């Protein structure tokens, strides 16, 4: 889930307002939503916050710096929130999908995972009790990153 903005300085001067909108949709809004609901979630016998980041939260793509920054920011927010809520009834889960066949990615020539399959894999990860759902090609990226963060960046930066 998210908003993508073309922020490639190689193509001219990017639209700063569009970048602000992307930051709000991808980072500020999930933080605001979690903050608004946290007390209600804590009062439940079991609850979960599921934040959808991206493989690009781990290693960025050069053509989408704002999107990557927001997803990395949400990733770190999710990790910190999970630590804060450890021992409570609220699970904090991060889903890291690959490129998914959505309207946002309509112009992306890369192979896309069907949205229904991505959702199915996220639900399966939640049911299995995993705190991190690396979906599709993101699993391979996480493997590369575990061996060499520089390798993972070399893979994604060229996109």
Query: How do the domains of the chain map onto residue ranges?
Result: 9-157
Topology of 9-157 in CATH? Rossmann fold (3.40.50)
| Angstrom distance (rounded) from CA 121 to CA 128 | 10
Q: Which residue has the tokens 């990615």?
A: 105
Phi and psi, residue 101, nearest 5°: -75, 85
SS3 42: helix
67 given a catalytic annotation: yes
Prediction pTM value: 0.88
Tokens found for residue 158: 């060229």
Q: Which residue has the tokens 């910190």?
A: 80
pLDDT tens for 83-136 read 999 999 999 999 999 877 566 666 766 677 788 998 999 999 999 999 999 998
**pLDDT: which is higher, 151 or 33:** 33
Query: Looking at 22, 34, 66, 67, which residue is catalytic?
Result: 67
């Amino acid at each position: 889930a998210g908003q993508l903005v073309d922020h490639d300085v190689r193509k001219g001067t990017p639209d700063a307002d569009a970048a602000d909108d992307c930051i709000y949709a991808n980072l500020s809004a999930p933080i605001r939503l979690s903050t608004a609901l946290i007390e209600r979630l804590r009062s439940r016998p079991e609850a979960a916050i599921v934040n959808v980041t991206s493989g690009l939260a781990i290693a960025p793509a050069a053509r989408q710096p704002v999107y990557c920054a927001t997803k990395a920011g949400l990733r770190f927010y999710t990790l910190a929130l999970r630590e804060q809520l450890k021992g409570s009834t609220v699970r904090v889960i991060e889903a890291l999908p690959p490129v998914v066949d959505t309207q946002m990615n309509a112009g992306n020539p890369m192979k896309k995972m069907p949205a229904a399959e991505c959702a199915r894999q996220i639900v399966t990860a939640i049911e299995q009790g995993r705190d991190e759902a690396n979906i599709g090609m993101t699993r391979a990226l996480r493997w590369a990153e575990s061996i060499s963060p520089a390798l993972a960046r070399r893979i994604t930066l060229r996109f």
